[in-house]
Chains A and B, each alone.
Chain A
């Protein structure tokens, strides 16, 4: 089956940089995606890596290494509004299922 592993919680200081890792045991997927979810809200799409390497979108970057079955989300210049849960996800080429990791809760200290 498919599974994605993430740390359950990460804490960082406002203005700093934090990396959230995701390791997966799956194959036959399009790429690795990241979603953000604030308390009480719905998940929203952040980024997608189709190929190995780094993708940058403003303060957020995401990385994928298929050979290592590993990816990460990098958040720079942390702001209090970045306090949220972050999920990695993959989409199966075979049956179009989208499977999520259990999420990483990011705590930001002032």
Chain B
């Protein structure tokens, strides 16, 4: 039972390079989320998707794009990486519309932009 799988686990980029962070879940959840985590800032929502085919901005969407490829997969793209995007990125999934708000997280991608 894999849960939420993120790739890659670690990545170093040069300023201006692009990359896509991949996320897949096998729990048949409708909702998926991308967060970034910086020291002292907690988990900040970048983008989320309440269902296949829909995406919405979170608190810090600038510099990112997302694609909800199908129900299982939700990718995050950095078109032109900047040092300010150095962070740990977490993907999460959850069932929509249920009172229990439990979100399941992937193991994170540690991204450094130099």
Contact = CB atoms under 8 A, between A and B. Distances in A.
Interface of A: 8, 30-31, 33, 35, 41-45, 48, 50, 87, 89-91, 95-103
Contact of A43 (B48, B58, B90): B90
Mostly helix, strand, loop or mixed at chain A's interface? strand
B101 A98 contact: yes
A35 to B, nearest CB: 8
A96 B90 contact: no
Contact of A50 (B40, B94, B96, B99): B99
Contact of A95 (B43, B56, B92): B56
A103 B101 contact: no
Given A8-B40, A98-B92, A33 B107 contact: no
Interface of B: 31, 33, 35, 40-45, 48, 50, 56, 58-59, 90, 92, 94, 96-97, 99-108
Given A45-B103, A48-B101, A96-B97, 8 more contacts: A30-B99, A43-B90, A44-B105, A45-B102, A95-B56, A97-B48, A97-B58, A100-B44
Given A96-B97, A97-B58, A42 B106 contact: yes
Contacts of A99: 45, 59
B97 A48 contact: no
A87 B31 CA distance: 20
Given A87-B42, A97-B48, A100-B43, A43 B94 contact: no
A98 B33 contact: yes
Contacts of B102: 33, 45, 48
A6 to B, nearest CB: 8
A43 B43 CA distance: 10
Contacts of B94: 91, 96, 98
Residue of B92, B94, B105 with highest tally of chain A CB at under 10 A: B105
Contacts of A43: 43, 90, 92, 103, 105
Nearest to A45: B102
A102 to B, nearest CB: 4
Contacts of A89: 101, 103
